[in-house]
Amino acid sequence: MSLPSNRKIVVTQRFFDDRSLAYLRAHGFAVELAPPPPGKGDGDLDMDMLRRMLEGASGWIVGHARVTRPLLEALPDLKVIARRGVGYDRVDIAAARDLGRVVTIAAGGNDASVADHTVGLMIAVGRRFRESQANMLQGDWSILSGNDLCEKTVGLVGLGRIGKNVVRRLSGFDTKILVHTRNPNPADADLQGVEFIDLPELLRRSDYVSLHAPLTPQTRFLINAAALGAMKKGAILINTARGGLVDDAALLEALRTGHLGGAGLDVFVSEDDPAYKPVTDALLALPNVVATPHAAASSHEGLARTNLVAARSIVAVLNGETPPPGTIVADGR
C-alpha cells in the first residue's frame, strides 16, 4: 500500500522508540523505519541509497548522514530534515536554505546524557579504570594509583547547553571551573564558581580539559600540537563534542611522550577522514585512553528524548506550526 502523499516520514536511525513512533502516527504521518545495516550508521550510506530510501518523503529523522546539496536537489518532496542530535556540521545549511528546506536539531534532548558521559570519562581516565581491569584479566591485582577529580581544576572549552550541564555536575566534586568560549553570553557571567579566561591560560592551568564547542572552520584542530604542548604535564583531555576539534595525530604524540596523563574520547577525526584511521587505532591501543564510539548521547533516556524532539519538530514544520524552542538551524520557507 502506498504511503499518503506528503505525510511520509523516514527514520534512518536505530533505537527509534514506540512513544515517538506513536506521536508521529497520531498526527497523521506514515513512518518508514530504515535503520542502517548492523555495524553501520546512516553516515555510512551513500547518496544513491539515501535517495532511494527517502524518495517521496516529506520528513527525515537523521543521525550522521551527510545532507548535501545534490541529495537535497534529488529529493524535491523533502521539506524538513530533523537531526536526532545537536551537531549539524554534516548538513549543508546554505543548500537547505537555498532550496526552501527546514533543518532542525534535537535541542535539549541529549544534554544530560552527554554531560554524564563527560564526567564519567574524567573519572574513568583519572582513576585508571581501563588499565586496572586489563591487569586483573592477566591475573595482576596490584593497585594502580590514579587521581581524584575532587578539587581539581577543570577547563571547559565551550559553554552551551551540554557545557552548562557539566558545570552543574562538577559542583559536587568541589572543582575549580575555567571556561573559554568564543561567544560569551552575558547571562553566564553569574554562573557560580566559574572563571572565564582565554584559551592559553585555560590550557596552562587545567588538570582536565573538556571540549564542548561546535566544529566549524574556525574551530577545526583548535587543540593542535601547540595547544597540547601548552597543557599542564599529566593533564587529561576529554572530547565528547566533535572529532575535528582535536588533531588526533598530535594527541597521539602527546600521550606517547607522557606529556598528557590520558584522554577520554568519544569522537575522532577518522569519523570524517578515513586517512586518520591508523591514528584512531593507535589511540585505542593506548592503556591511558578510554574510548567510546560516538556514544555519549546514546543512553536509553537520551535517545528517547531526542527522538521525541525530532518528531515534534517534524510535525510542527509540516503542519505549519512552531517547532520546540532552539530547534531550527536553517529555515528556507
pLDDT in tens, 45-101: 999 999 999 999 999 999 999 999 999 999 999 999 999 999 899 999 999 999 999
For residue 100, the tally of other CB atoms under 10 A from its CB is 12
pLDDT digits (tens, 9 = 90+) for 124-171: 999 999 999 999 999 999 999 999 999 999 999 999 999 999 999 999
Alpha helices in 239-295 (DSSP H): 248-256, 277-285
- Residue located via cell numbers 531526542: 306
The answer to whether residue 242 is catalytic is: yes
Cell, residue 201: 591560560
Give CATH for domain 111-291: 3.40.50.720
Eight-state DSSP code of residue 322 = P
Q: Helix, strand, or coil here: 280?
A: helix
Active-site residue identified among 242, 301, 312, 321? 242
In this structure, are residues 318 and 30 in contact, taking their beta carbons and an 8 Å threshold? no
The single residue of 84, 212, 294, 312 carrying the catalytic annotation is 294
Residue 300 CA to residue 293 CA, distance in Å, equals: 16
The closest of 174, 173, 188 to 119, measured between CA atoms, is 173
Selecting among 64, 271, 305, 312, the annotated active-site residue is 271
Per-residue pLDDT band for 40 (boundaries 50, 70, 90) equals confident
What span, in angstroms and rounded, lies between the C-alpha atoms of 301 and 111? 11
**What does the mean pLDDT of the chain come to?**
94
Spell out the CATH class of 8-109+299-331.
Answer: alpha beta
- Burial of 237 from C-beta contacts in 10 A (0-12 / 13-18 / 19+): buried
Q: Which of 1-10, 181-190, 250-259 has the lowest mean pLDDT?
A: 1-10
217-257 per-position pLDDT tens digit: 999 999 999 999 999 999 999 999 999 999 999 999 999 99
Active-site residue flag, 271: yes
In whole angstroms, what is the distance from residue 107 CA to residue 310 CA?
A: 9
Beta bridge partners of 180: 157
Cross-strand pairs, 237: 209, 263
Q: Which sequence spans correspond to the domains of the chain? A: 8-109+299-331, 111-291
User: DSSP characters for 5-71?
Assistant: TT-EEEE-SS---HHHHHHHHHTT-EEEE-PPPTT--GGGS-HHHHHHHHTT-SEEEESS--B-HHH
